[in-house]
Structure 1
């Protein structure tokens, strides 16, 4: 977390809502899945840009709990894309010293995909470079609800006293319990909403809503946004000195 009344410096943790894949493909007369494929390629470029930009943690919103409402064809295609991405990129990510984690409710995902996710987390568990977190079947409200269930069970089991439940207790039950809160949240495609993404964690995040569609988002634009972050005054409720 940045210091009040001072320039923020580089954002330690950047979270990205990767929006605009379908529109990008439609503008080119191609199927929506073509846009998702191009978007997946963009992820590698941004991960590789993180060290030079001073970013230690990168969290990307790959598939939300609401995305199941899309057509069966698109959902099935996305699940196939996720499996292919993990299989193809696993060795590269480890070779580049990238630590990969997944957040979200895995129960609705198919067994093969869950197995690949587990394998990739284990494969990169020792890596000490960029921390890449992939939000897959993730929703902020769903995450808080699941965390609350676990917290309530600990209270029922006598492991936690109700009077000890506060805003510092709940984060220990969130999917992101081992991650710092995001300093900067970027949403591509011109939409200015947060879409149920990291609701608890982004309480004091800075936001950038940009017009660029995700498949056109470049390492150069990423570097500009992270550099601009350093000019912001982050007061966290305090007043300027």
Structure 2
């Protein structure tokens, strides 16, 4: 039975840059894809931990627009992994009352993968528990460029007045328009950069950069980071009187 989401002072929306799969595999003398398969198993563990932590939205960075630069073997292996993951997890996530969405540009993805993504979104669209968003062929700059193009088309068509365009307008054209902005962004593997992930949405997010490689990142560590967030003083540019 799916757990109800516990409300608290922790983050409502957590975004995760899942980094370190390749290094984790290399430390064990295995190919990089071995690490990606190990990392995929961590996703369910975090999703299942979310209700008790009060996390209603979880967004994970699965494949970036820059990841096409990797070897053809690795890219093909990742695409195969995505297809298998979706086929395997759709029913199980639905039973956990998890709604799944995908963000990113689907144009470059193969037809079978796109079909599976569409089916997963449709199959879980009635779910009211944790919202899992998977960023696949996603890049923050690419997202803003695509959003700006759609906005410009509406202006040209007379649907939108140029004078009405402001920082409240553009988010309506982003891939994440139905999601709240992330409160906390976590990156694993010891790298301290955001790698073109949710650039607009994370303007006021808190960041945690941890040394743990993604396949070793546990629900316990996830819980500690979300609880630490609750102790932070969030002023959004203001000061206390």
Same fold per TM (> 0.5)? Answer: yes
Higher relative contact order (CA 8 A, sep 6+): 1
SS for the counterpart of 1:79 is helix
Q: Following TM superposition, by how much is the alpha carbon of 1:33 offset from its aligned partner in structure 2, in angstroms?
A: 0.1
SS for the counterpart of 1:185 is strand
Q: Following TM superposition, by how much is the alpha carbon of 1:145 offset from its aligned partner in structure 2, in angstroms?
A: 0.1
SS for the counterpart of 1:63 is strand
The separation in 2 between residues aligned to 1:18 and 1:95, in whole angstroms, is 25
Deviations 1:88-146 (A, max 9, x none): 00100100000000000000000000000000000000000000000000000000000
TM-score relative to the length of structure 2: 0.97
Taking the TM superposition and a 5 Å limit, the aligned residue runs for 1:1-241 are 9-241=9-241
The separation in 2 between residues aligned to 1:53 and 1:25, in whole angstroms, is 30
The separation in 2 between residues aligned to 1:140 and 1:189, in whole angstroms, is 21
The separation in 2 between residues aligned to 1:44 and 1:25, in whole angstroms, is 20
TM-score relative to the length of structure 1: 0.97
CA RMSD of aligned residues (A): 0.7
Structure 2: unaligned runs, 5 residues or longer: 1-7
The separation in 2 between residues aligned to 1:152 and 1:176, in whole angstroms, is 18
The separation in 1 between residues aligned to 2:59 and 2:31, in whole angstroms, is 26
Question: How many residues were matched structurally?
Answer: 234
SS for the counterpart of 1:58 is strand
SS for the counterpart of 1:122 is helix
Q: Following TM superposition, by how much is the alpha carbon of 1:32 offset from its aligned partner in structure 2, in angstroms?
A: 0.2
Structure 1: unaligned runs, 5 residues or longer: 1-7
SS for the counterpart of 1:113 is helix
